[in-house]
Structure 1
Amino acid sequence: MVNLSPKTHFRWLLSACFAIGTRLVLAQPAPLAGIPLPLNDLSAFAPSTPNWRIVGAVRADLNKANTLITDKGTGVLANIPLDKAPADSKNPYKYDLFTTLQHGDVDLELDYMMATTANSGVYLQGRYEIQLRDSWDVRTPNVHDNGAVYERWDEKRPDGQKGYEGHPARQNASRAPGLWQHMKISFQAPRFNANGQKTENARVIRIELNGVIIQEDVELTGPTRGSAFDNEKALGPIRFQGDHGAVALRNIRYVTYDKPRPELINLKYAVYKGKYEKEPNYDKTAPESEGATTVLSASVSRIPNEFLIRYTGTLRVSEPGEYQFNLGVPGGGGQLKINKQSVIAPGEWNARGKATLPKGDLPFELLYAKFVDWAQPALGLTVAGPGIREYAISDGVGSTGEEVDPIVVEASTNTMLRSFMDVPGEKNSQGRTLRVTHAVSVGSPEQIHYTYDLDKGALVQVWRGSFLDATPMWHERGDGSSRPTGMVQRLGTPVLFLSKLASPQANWMADTTGSSYHPKGYVLDDSDRPTFRYQSYGASVDDKIRVLSEGKGIQREVSVMNPASDLYARLGSGTTITALENNLYLIDGQTYIKIDNVSGAKPTIRDTNGRQELIVPVKGKLTYSILF
């Protein structure tokens, strides 16, 4: 065991299965809160046309194209296209909205809501468009769909080739119109020399839509079609498209990166051979090799295993403030000191630390001890700070020395997989992340999937896009779990779908005690789609879940033979449930529940334990849809 201080031992991971996934990831610092774009009025924007307004609430009509219904108030920016608004050939972007903010490198985060069939976009620097669109029913997105980096355009190119360099989203991670969607964009502006000549193209580093990565490292050789400017600059405004369709936005936040990076100078290294039980006395221990260098790297050691590299030098800091450091040292452990203060204590292969640093030249020391023979030597250190996006200050970002190909389960046909399924955000009685131990995940070629809890007859989650990542289940020893790889809508803590209530206000059953619940497995139809069966409160239950046409969600048909007179079904729960038109209910702005047939029973929205539930008496058969 290695010891880099008299009393502190390294803790390292002896099992390869635990080491997997410790790769140091660039451009993933701890999330910053960001600066909010105020939406109390339109003062954060250049003067605009009347289609843009500040409102307090907004919703869409699923049956009416390009329509948003708004309420008075503040906090939401809405574009309501003007009826018969004339085009302006001298100002084709007349109806768009430009921020007074001028940005270069930026992280932009926002919520947005699309009207049915609506089309809009957000332009970085007013030049590079990220598509915002109602792509609810799209299976394979193209450059016109939600989350795409829009194409460039050249009228001189042949027909069919005028549009080029567009980048569709990797998968459709979109929500339904009228539901709030969340997008995170990391953008790197083009670079220019002192003469104003472009030296590096702009890049979309990453886009995350509703929790799914849909774009990574997209190079932008020039403005996309519809750019408000023909040239490229180091700075430009955020621009929201206003002439195509109705869209609402809220919670717009940004972080700009315009400060100089810290620099390592006067860097020296010394390599010591051996498996050290404690940090050596450097005055009395001769290094195997030493010298000056300009970059942090494990390659200064020619010893494959059992060595210690000590780097010393100066970290020149131009911008004072709090900095975050991410150190990757596979096969051993590392330590980082800056300004004679411990930033990363002796620890594991991949560790983070932070320090508040003053402006100036600060003493720098980094140690890397390698002692696990099967891991390849590597050294990665990244830095992020005030106005500084995370970057590698070493020659690489480190790795475990072993890359693992993900084990992905596709659903090109109707597909089922039994596994454990974790439910992030929900806790078990020990305070740990809730794990469903008898989960069945059902995938479809329509790219609409769900997880069912056989222990409770409950829907756990629904999602759109790719099916499952079974790497944690099947790699090496595994832990038995799989995880969705698309846009997931979780449905809360799984509880019994059916419960007897003495009154509509009585508490819902927390578990199966007293319910006589007995799972009876499932039967498959001719298309390999399951109908789950169980007994509860003396009734036999068939639970059939099917994908809706055009991939808009799922429909659930529950048949209860001989139901008790006081039996209820719990269709949904959330912080807020709002009744809309046409038997439609909106849950937390994230999901629709549509009542299709409940045999004449009347659904009830009730308050319970600070939340709301949508319940309905059971009269034999009930059918409802989850739209998301």
Structure 2
Amino acid sequence: MYKKMIFLMVACAFVACLALADAARQVVTLPLKDLSSFQNPGKSWQIAGDVRADLDKDNKLITREGDGVLVNSPRRKSSGQDLFTSFEHGDIDLELDYMMAKGSNSGVYLQGRYEIQLADNWGTTDRSAGSNGGVYERWDESRPRGQQGFQGYAPRQNVGRAPGLWQHLKISFQAPRFDASGNKTENAKLLRVELNGVAIHENVELFGPTRGAVGNNEVAMGPLRFQGDHGAVAFRNINLTLYSRQRPALKDLTFTIYGGRYEQEPQYDSIPPEAEGPTGILTSNLDAIAKQFLIRYRGTFVAKEAGDYTFTVATPGGSGLVRINNKVVVPMTGQQGQGTITLPAGETAFELLYSKYLDWAQPALALRVSGPGLREFLISDKDAGLTEAVDPILVDVSERPVLRSFIDLPVDTGSYRVTHAMSVGSQAGLHYTYDMDHGALVQLWRGGFLDATPMWYERGDGSSKAMGTVYHFGKPTLTIAKLASEQAAWTTDTTGSTFHHKNYRLDQNAEPTFSYQAYGATVQDAIRVMENGKGLRRELRVQNPTANLYARLAEGGKIEEAGKGMYLVDGKAYYIRIDDAGGAKPLVRNAGGRQELLVPVRERLVYSILY
């Protein structure tokens, strides 16, 4: 009885915390010190301090004592049970990290009814509703054989990672809507789902519960549910933002159109209007004939709840201003602006100015509002929203598997431009960029190949961008360097290295082998995409190697040994597997608050990056 009371007290405290966060629209992290945030957790669920997978064994996760990680470890398939949160949700933003065991699958059910599939699809290129990140199918046994599953959605791209690596999932979910009689008036929606930083679903309508739902009925509120009866999986950093408040509204809107160019708010008494009248919506589509004009909207903003409201206005081709309760919230300073104001519940005066002064731009206006317990939404005309300035110029790997361009990399100081970059793509969906100025890998990604719009649109700037889930290896440095000792600082540039890029040659699969000279040695650097795109295999052949020559295979915040020549790099972002070091012993060392993996170089070094 005592333990039950403690559980109820902790659960109630957490639910109260969620309620407070909802009122302030703050992110709350689900506590993972124990299992008290969940209803009747089964024996397969536990809290751990760390976890890693065994790439040689299906459905196997290895845990370490501590807290912060939620782990499901069923002894065999179907021996576990699903886990339900002790709170229920309606509209929610959910963000979390998860890790799959080899061959495992699981899922996250929103309201216990709509499943986002989690699966180990490493080494596969097919996409379906059952793939990692897919929206699982609905199911009807009465339908013809082979058609029982329907209304499932495959992810846009295959951007999953290897088992044992942390993956990041971000979901914006809108719950179904019901009238006062309990009749459904609007289907549930996935407004946006991101996997490993890539949008894989947008504005997906959910017509009913998916297969395996806790019930075939739909509800306004329901618990989060983590699937536990299919395989080993781990979760951490489970962050929640709940939304349950009514949207504000605009009423009694009027418009006035003034012809001419206005970069500042004018004196209205001195200019005659071209048109005016009542309107039911904020829009840029008012049939203004002039290429330059100003629209002045006035009306009433009705706040259903007191609190802080944020207004974001976008007006490409001009500028916009928002005034609430006779106070300027968003000043008329540019094509996009944002401001926040504290409002009471009820009605306040509203005013919006939209000035279009660039001749070539199409009229476009978007006003978005967020508030207490309220997800940001478009309060203006959805049919007059914003479009891309240009159609993107995308490079398909089947058309051009190798592309020279500039590549901009994020670094601590902002951005670093690789001016002699070669990006190499593969049909398996795994791609990389090589810096010929340093003989170094600079990025690796899974998904689409390249967006060349910055390079080829109009005059361009010569750069292209990776399209999938990207891992950046940091500011380029030499892969091979000569060190006075094992603890000497790694060479940050080519000074004194006699580095000289010679050439590269493409094989029959358009995969390059790079050739360069450094420290008096000649290096052949062959990088190949592994079978089914599981990673990269890199072979360095060195002619006339000098003494004290090392290769730096990895650098990160943490590098962990994972057995059998395997290392987990940078918080389980990718694996390094040393395949052939010619008898040399690898070294993990500390350097400037981070860690590096070095291997003495002889005549041949082979290693793989598993991602």
Into which bin does the TM-score normalised by the smaller protein fall? over 0.9
Residue 201 of structure 1 deviates from its aligned partner by 1.1
Kindly indicate whether residue 504 of structure 2 is the aligned counterpart of residue 522 of structure 1. yes
Q: How does 1:131-146 map to 2 (within 5 A)?
A: 131-146=117-132
With 517-526 and 329-338 compared, the bigger mean Cα shift is at: 329-338
Secondary structure of 1:473's counterpart equals helix
Measure the CA separation in 2 of the matches of 1:107 and 1:277.
37
Kindly indicate whether residue 368 of structure 2 is the aligned counterpart of residue 382 of structure 1. yes
Residue 301 of structure 1 deviates from its aligned partner by 5.2
Q: Compared with structure 1, are the counterparts of its residues 104 and 295 closer, same or farther at alpha carbon in structure 2 (3 Å cutoff)?
A: same
- For residues 99-158 of structure 1, give each alpha carbon's deviation from its aligned partner in whole angstroms, at most 9, with x where no partner exists: 112111111110000000001000011011100110111112212110000001111111
Residue 178 of structure 1 deviates from its aligned partner by 0.4
Measure the CA separation in 1 of the matches of 2:145 and 2:388.
47
Paired position in structure 2 for 1:72: 65
Measure the CA separation in 1 of the matches of 2:61 and 2:261.
67
Paired position in structure 1 for 2:38: 45
Q: Compared with structure 1, are the counterparts of its residues 497 and 223 closer, same or farther at alpha carbon in structure 2 (3 Å cutoff)?
A: same
Kindly indicate whether residue 468 of structure 2 is the aligned counterpart of residue 486 of structure 1. yes
Paired position in structure 1 for 2:587: 604
With 228-237 and 363-372 compared, the bigger mean Cα shift is at: 363-372
Paired position in structure 2 for 1:81: 74
Kindly indicate whether residue 186 of structure 2 is the aligned counterpart of residue 200 of structure 1. yes
Amino acid at match of 1:619: R
Residue 483 of structure 1 deviates from its aligned partner by 0.8
Residue 285 of structure 1 deviates from its aligned partner by 3.3
Kindly indicate whether residue 610 of structure 2 is the aligned counterpart of residue 624 of structure 1. no
Correspondence for 1:575 among 533, 540, 557: 557
Paired position in structure 2 for 1:4: none
Q: Compared with structure 1, are the counterparts of its residues 202 and 402 closer, same or farther at alpha carbon in structure 2 (3 Å cutoff)?
A: closer
Residue 478 of structure 1 deviates from its aligned partner by 1.3
Secondary structure of 2:517's counterpart equals strand
Kindly indicate whether residue 526 of structure 2 is the aligned counterpart of residue 551 of structure 1. no
Q: Compared with structure 1, are the counterparts of its residues 577 and 133 closer, same or farther at alpha carbon in structure 2 (3 Å cutoff)?
A: same
Instruction: Check the 8 A contact 2:299/2:350 in 1, yes or no.
Output: yes
Amino acid at match of 2:425: G
Paired position in structure 1 for 2:22: none
Amino acid at match of 1:436: V
Structure 1: which 5+ residue stretches go unaligned?
1-31, 87-93
Amino acid at match of 1:440: M
- For residues 389-440 of structure 1, give each alpha carbon's deviation from its aligned partner in whole angstroms, at most 9, with x where no partner exists: 121111137566775221111112771000111112x14xxx3311111110
Residue 256 of structure 1 deviates from its aligned partner by 1.4
Instruction: Check the 8 A contact 2:82/2:227 in 1, yes or no.
Output: yes
Paired position in structure 2 for 1:182: 168
Kindly indicate whether residue 498 of structure 2 is the aligned counterpart of residue 512 of structure 1. no
Residue 347 of structure 1 deviates from its aligned partner by 2.1
Kindly indicate whether residue 259 of structure 2 is the aligned counterpart of residue 273 of structure 1. yes
Instruction: Check the 8 A contact 1:140/1:171 in 2, yes or no.
Output: no
Paired position in structure 2 for 1:215: 201
Amino acid at match of 1:218: V
Amino acid at match of 2:584: A
Measure the CA separation in 2 of the matches of 1:293 and 1:413.
50
* TM-score, normalised relative to structure 2: 0.93
Structure 2: which 5+ residue stretches go unaligned?
1-24
Aligned residues: 586
Secondary structure of 1:283's counterpart equals helix
With 597-606 and 384-393 compared, the bigger mean Cα shift is at: 384-393
Paired position in structure 1 for 2:49: 56
Correspondence for 2:98 among 101, 112, 117: 112
- For residues 535-584 of structure 1, give each alpha carbon's deviation from its aligned partner in whole angstroms, at most 9, with x where no partner exists: 00111110000011121100000111111111110000000000111100
Kindly indicate whether residue 578 of structure 2 is the aligned counterpart of residue 592 of structure 1. no
Q: How does 1:288-367 map to 2 (within 5 A)?
A: 288-300=274-286, 302-367=288-353
- For residues 163-211 of structure 1, give each alpha carbon's deviation from its aligned partner in whole angstroms, at most 9, with x where no partner exists: 1111111111001000000000111111111111111111111110001
Amino acid at match of 1:494: P
Secondary structure of 1:41's counterpart equals coil
Correspondence for 2:443 among 432, 439, 461: 461
Q: Compared with structure 1, are the counterparts of its residues 51 and 400 closer, same or farther at alpha carbon in structure 2 (3 Å cutoff)?
A: closer
Secondary structure of 1:299's counterpart equals coil
Higher relative contact order (CA 8 A, sep 6+): 1
Amino acid at match of 1:248: A
Instruction: Check the 8 A contact 1:51/1:79 in 2, yes or no.
Output: yes
Measure the CA separation in 1 of the matches of 2:388 and 2:414.
29
Paired position in structure 2 for 1:244: 230
Measure the CA separation in 1 of the matches of 2:398 and 2:330.
46
Measure the CA separation in 1 of the matches of 2:456 and 2:340.
35
Secondary structure of 2:448's counterpart equals coil
Measure the CA separation in 2 of the matches of 1:513 and 1:537.
11
Measure the CA separation in 1 of the matches of 2:521 and 2:49.
47
Measure the CA separation in 2 of the matches of 1:491 and 1:207.
26
With 271-280 and 113-122 compared, the bigger mean Cα shift is at: 271-280
Residue 341 of structure 1 deviates from its aligned partner by 2.5
Secondary structure of 2:143's counterpart equals coil
Instruction: Check the 8 A contact 1:414/1:529 in 2, yes or no.
Output: no
- For residues 281-308 of structure 1, give each alpha carbon's deviation from its aligned partner in whole angstroms, at most 9, with x where no partner exists: 2234332222222211123353332222
Q: Compared with structure 1, are the counterparts of its residues 373 and 84 closer, same or farther at alpha carbon in structure 2 (3 Å cutoff)?
A: closer
Amino acid at match of 2:139: W
Amino acid at match of 1:267: L
Q: Compared with structure 1, are the counterparts of its residues 236 and 618 closer, same or farther at alpha carbon in structure 2 (3 Å cutoff)?
A: same
Kindly indicate whether residue 272 of structure 2 is the aligned counterpart of residue 286 of structure 1. yes
Counting aligned pairs with the same residue, the percent is 56
Give the 4+ runs in structure 1 shifted more than 4 A. Answer: 83-86, 397-403
Instruction: Check the 8 A contact 1:328/1:398 in 2, yes or no.
Output: no
Kindly indicate whether residue 534 of structure 2 is the aligned counterpart of residue 531 of structure 1. no
Kindly indicate whether residue 457 of structure 2 is the aligned counterpart of residue 475 of structure 1. yes
